[in-house]
Amino acid sequence: MRVVLSQLFAGISVGSILLLVALGLVFTFGQMNVINMAQGEFIMAGAYVAYVMQEYFGPAMAGESLLLSLVVAFVVAGLMGVILEVLLISRLYGRPLDTLLVTWGVSLMLQQLARDIFGAPNVDVRAPDWLRGGPTLLGVSLPWSRLFIIGLAMAIVTGIWVFLGRRPEGRRMRAVTQNRQLASCSGVATDRVDRTTFFIGSGLAGVAGVALTLLGSVGPTLGTNYIVDAFLVVVVGGLGHLRGAVIAALALGVLNAFTEFWTEASLAKVVVFVAIVAFLQVRPQGLVVLRTRTLT
């Protein structure tokens, strides 16, 4: 029983990390059909924001700098996304393969830029004292850092749900997703909605980068370690659907944790990938299908 609970918590924590990374893609890939390979570098940018903030405030204010980094990373990564959308992506809508190639090139450039600024060796962000250690429940150790990431993921999902369902900006985003031409005819400024979508999606990647600093060191290739899994979460959950992404991230995290416990890390990746392929053969549109309106 103790082993089951331990692996279940590990799976939920891994799923929360995947969810944080994938939330930005729910907007840019799921809703706009843009394959943004530079999303991983927005994650990296958020992680480096946390490092810079801690260097500025000092280790004595690690807690304050971490919380402030969540806001600053959201803005910095969001602005990077807007710049990318205005300069490149806006000219490639409806051409997903072109967006893949272009953003992949941008990701390589951003990685090299990070090496030029921060150097090749990875850097570490010191976790605040209140995130060290953790409680024990039924014999299972629960690190505060993992609990913080789980709570952060829950808070962000709640905020996105409120934004999409209650705010006028969110309803306009949903309208453009369902039918861009009809939304434009109804007076919705689709260009502005696109930039807002990219700002939010890229900003969420920056927040994920800050969270990842609690789990390991920060380097130029940090985002590439998670970007493929994030795309898988969006595809399995159903393109553009928040509820599907939440379910898919937690399911994949739990499956990976138990499979890794019974086998090994490399084989667990293979098993999870095979399970995803088999699932998509049965349900190619993912867990949740996004309803759209089309003109007839």
Instruction: Kindly tell me the number of DSSP H helices and DSSP E strands found in the chain.
Output: 11, 2
Q: What's the pLDDT score for residue 295? A: 44
Cα–Cα distance between 174 and 296 in angstroms, integer? 20
* Mean pLDDT of the region 5-29: 81
Helix, strand, coil % in the chain, rounded to nearest 5: 75, 0, 25
Q: What's the whole-number average pLDDT of the chain?
A: 82
Q: What's the pLDDT score for residue 70? A: 92
- pTM for this structure? 0.86
Residue 98 has pLDDT above 80, yes or no: yes
Query: Residue 30 — pLDDT band, cuts 50, 70, 90?
Result: low
Phi and psi, residue 141, nearest 5°: -75, 130
Domains, in order of start, for the chain: 2-282 (1.10.3470)
Residue 219 has pLDDT above 60, yes or no: yes
Most confident among 67-81, 213-227, 235-249 (mean pLDDT): 67-81
Residue 288 has pLDDT above 80, yes or no: no
Residue 291 has pLDDT above 70, yes or no: no
Residue 42 has pLDDT above 70, yes or no: yes
Of 42-46, 68-72, 163-167, 210-214, the range with the lowest mean pLDDT is: 163-167
The secondary structure element, H or E, covering residue 210 is helix 190-212
Q: What is the pLDDT of residues 224-238, one digit of tens each?
A: 888 888 888 888 887
Contact between residue 46 and residue 209 where contact means Cβ atoms under 8 Å apart: yes
Residue 75 has pLDDT above 90, yes or no: yes
Residue 102 has pLDDT above 80, yes or no: yes
DSSP state of 296: -
Residues contacting 295, CB < 8 A, separation 6+: 179, 181, 182
Q: What is the pLDDT of residues 51-72, one digit of tens each?
A: 999 888 877 787 888 899 999 9
Residue 126 has pLDDT above 70, yes or no: yes
Both tokens assigned to 13: 């924590």
